[in-house]
Amino acid sequence: MELKFFESPTCPDCPAAKKNVKEVLTKFKLLDSLKFFDISTDDGRIESLNCMVMGSPTLVIDEEIITKDVLLDARKLEAELKGRVN
């Protein structure tokens, strides 16, 4: 499973979303698969364009975009991952 988290230093929701993502992925033993990208850098912008990410925070799971409304709710994120892992 490919996991990419896109964030920005100016994003007010990114710290909470990042915390939820780390906690939920730890439960599923997937944290080591997670790659972080800062969209304010050239490399982060290029990767976000390749994944069609338009903002932050965003999690990409195997090319599917998971947006802020799910990332800020750990229960929604956990439900999203359960359907993919099991």
Identify the pLDDT of residue 85: 79
CATH numbers and ranges of domains, the chain: 3-80 (3.40.30.10)
Classify 73 as helix, strand or coil: coil
pLDDT for the residue 84: 83
What are φ and ψ of residue 51, in 5° steps?
Answer: -95, 0
The pLDDT assigned to 86 comes to 62
- Strand partners for 6: 37, 58
- pLDDT above 80: residue 1: yes
**pLDDT at 83 (0 to 100):** 81
Count CB atoms within 10 A of the CB of residue 52: 10
pTM: 0.93
Taking 90 as the threshold, does the pLDDT of residue 32 lie above it?
Answer: yes
Judged by DSSP in three states, 75 sits in: helix
